[in-house]
Amino acid sequence: MESPYTYSSIRNLTQPGGRNSLKFSLRTVLGMLLIAPLAQLSVAENQPKVAVDTSEVLFTVLTAMNACGYDQELGVSDPLRSQVRADLAKTLQDSPEAKEATSAMCQYYDEHRQPDSSKTLAQYTSLALFLNGPQLTPKVKEAELPPDARALIGVLPLLQAFYEKAGLHAIWQRNYPAYSALTNRYHEPLSRMLFETEIYLKLASAGYLGSQFVVYLDPMGAPGQTNARNYGANYYVVISPGTSSVLKLEQIRHTYLHYLLDPMALKYPATMKRLEPLLTTVKTAPLDESFKSDVSLLLTECFIRAIEARTGTAAKQPEAQREKLIQAAVAQGFVLTRYFYETLVQFEKDPQGLRNAYGDLVSNIDVHKEQKRAAQVQFASAADPELLHLSSPAQGKLLVTAEQRLSVGDSGTAQKLAQQALDEKAEDPGRALFILAQVATMNRDMQGARTYFQRALEVAQEPKVVAWSHIYLGRIFDLQAERDAAIDQYRAALTAGASLPEAKAAAERGIQQPYEPPSHPQ
């Protein structure tokens, strides 16, 4: 963000007018120059993130499942899965304490195992995504966990004992080079797919402030199963590579399209309200109930299916085959898929990117016409299971919505929702104060941001909030030429963010040299 204060305006503010006048003017100018880059603090390291990564927490949870008899698709898994299992078996053989801890954990696992092993994997994946490492403690209050993860809360002390007694950290470290090799192997095809998706949609940049899209690779699960999750503004895909070198790019792209399109729908609440009568047309469709109660979810899923019919492997198919994809989507209840498919034909010829075109695309939907078209549909008896689990907690909706509004630049609404959550004392006060601090940075309110970050540190439990609050405070101190205080904050961030690679890297950079706002072209 370019500073609104040019050299000429600074020079005019410091024209001769007495010593006191000059002193006041310089202080004023300094404040202006400091506040201008403050709005970039959250942007600097909180830019949209797209990453292929591994996770020790996910490794721990999935390895625990394997120790308790989870063998789904073991024969077609990456050889690393068998290697880790053999490594763990040797440890258990040599340590009675480790064997005892494993037995206690597996008793819980057996008592809570789902008849369908794929559902068991999905449940433990949800839990893993909400745990801090290496302590294996929840990132949020128990009541704010997704329902499937909350049902497993009793396993945590047993899992923690297993992690410690079985030496899981040492096993993770020994196998980490092989895990890194996995991410390196799949980085290029994944990057190519994401790039092609952005090119098709004509998006100059992907994602939104405060959002991230992460693909986790871990061979300890079943290769045939993909788990995708949306928590607030963040999207995760968990995949277990198998003996085949082919990554499930179609499933990843589906979630990535949600990551790109979900926030766009939030920017047009009036349009979504106008489209709500369409929900009555899908009451008898075999859709998940979430699509029948939220028109923005229904619209986005239809849009995604239309994009999928025109891109990827479908783009190479004859038109008759793509027509079958559209018919199948509509028959399942995604009644706007044909509208978006037809609209995309014109969009492809237009130089305008999706962010600029989106408003017209959704505003031009003729509700009466689409109702009539949907009334003629003979719905199928079943629908494909939705890949992405919109696992918003039963509580915490104010802060989830506040984060979503902040991600699309609506700082006013984000501020109101975060303040409401803080006033009602029903949700995580640390997260609420952190959001208010981010709003203050967007409003160039340095003192307000500093106060909110400090208040967040007094009550926050989530490592991400603690670590980034310290980092942002360190940057504020750097901008105010208080280098010693800044270094103290960066060191505190290193401790709090030990398991957060991005926070750790940012803190280390802060210790090495004072923070400087990113430069932007004139």
| Highest mean pLDDT out of 127-136, 315-324, 447-456 | 447-456
Q: What is the pLDDT of residue 338?
A: 97
- Three-class DSSP category at 364: coil
Share of the chain above pLDDT 90, in %: 55
Q: Which residues contact 375 (CB under 8 A, 6 or more apart)?
A: 281
Q: What is the pLDDT of residue 1?
A: 30
Q: How confident is the model at residue 38 (pLDDT cuts 50, 70, 90)?
A: low
Report, as an integer, the average pLDDT of 465-486: 93
Q: What is the pLDDT of residue 496?
A: 87
- Three-class DSSP category at 518: coil
Return the bridge partners of 235, or none. 213, 230
Q: Over the stretch 402-418, which tens digit does the pLDDT of each residue have?
A: 887 787 778 888 898 88
pLDDT higher than threshold 50 for residue 43: no
242 DSSP assignment: B
Question: CB-hemisphere CA count at 13 Å for 312?
Answer: 21
Report, as an integer, the average pLDDT of 427-437: 88
Q: What is the pLDDT of residue 390?
A: 57
Q: How confident is the model at residue 6 (pLDDT cuts 50, 70, 90)?
A: very low
**Lowest-pLDDT choice from 32-46, 116-130, 198-212:** 32-46
Q: What is the 3-state secondary structure (H, E, C) of 182-202?
A: HHHHHHHHHHHHHHHHHHHHC
Count CB atoms within 10 A of the CB of residue 86: 10
Report, as an integer, the average pLDDT of 343-360: 93
Higher pLDDT, 23 or 226: 226
Higher pLDDT, 466 or 147: 466
Q: Say if residues 312 and 259 touch (Cβ distance below 8 Å).
A: no
Q: How confident is the model at residue 63 (pLDDT cuts 50, 70, 90)?
A: very high
Q: How confident is the model at residue 245 (pLDDT cuts 50, 70, 90)?
A: low
Query: Is the entire prediction scored with pTM above 0.75?
Result: no
